[in-house]
Amino acid sequence: MATYRRITVMEDGGVSIVRFVDKKIVDSGTIEQLGEELSALVTVEKKNMLLLNFDSVEFMSSAALNKLISLNKKVKDAAGRLKLACLRPEIEEVFRITRLDRVFDLRKTQEDALAAFKL
């Protein structure tokens, strides 16, 4: 498995569980690198069942949201599924305001998200 600097990846029953290294995802260099690493998971490592666990993320800018939108397209193109879990209420509010809660499958807990992959 490749070495990543902005994320950690753990496998669980065919699902790649991704956690974020940075508490605040705002710096443009960090966001670019994060986007590249998430993209590589799908296009290089051929992972297409992704669960992004946000439990360590306190803040993210709209530039980071754009990377998630891009990842979502790549996962769909790879006939995969993407789920987001453990977003703190303020970040979930941003998804709601921007209607991105209609684009992404948001789950309260990692367990909820893992169970949803089996549906």
Partner 1 sequence: MSSRQPIWSCDKNLPSDLDAGHGCIEELMAAIEKAGWEGRDVFHIQMAIEEAVVNAIEHGNKRDPSKLVHVVFNVFDDLVTLSVTDQGQGFDHHNVADPTVEEHLDQPRGRGVMLIRELMTEAKYNDKGNSVWMRKEKSASEN
Dihedral sign computed on CA atoms, order 46, 52, 58, 61: positive
**Binding map of partner 1 across residues 59-88, x = CB under 8 A, - = no contact:** x-xxx-xx--x--xx---------------
Please say whether the beta carbons of 71 and 78 come within 8 A.
no
Smaller CB distance to partner 1: residue 69 or 115? 69
Which tokens in the block code for residue 32?
């670019």
Q: Which of 43, 56, 98, 109 binds partner 1 (CB under 8 A)?
A: 98
Site membership for partner 1, residue 36 (CB under 8 A): no
Segment interacting with partner 1 (CB under 8 A) among 37-45, 47-55, 95-103, 111-119? 95-103
- Residue 62 beta carbon to partner 1: minimum distance, rounded to whole angstroms: 4
Contacts of 93 (CB under 8 A, 6+ apart): none
From the list 47, 45, 51, 62, the residue with the least C-alpha distance to 18 is 51
Q: Would you call 37 helix, strand, or coil by DSSP? A: helix
Smaller CB distance to partner 1: residue 72 or 110? 72
Site membership for partner 1, residue 32 (CB under 8 A): no
Q: What is the CA radius of gyration of the chain?
A: 13
Segment interacting with partner 1 (CB under 8 A) among 14-22, 46-54, 98-106, 109-117? 98-106
Please say whether the beta carbons of 31 and 63 come within 8 A.
yes
Interaction site with partner 1 (CB under 8 A): 26-28, 59, 61-63, 65-66, 69, 72-73, 89-90, 93-94, 97-100, 102-103
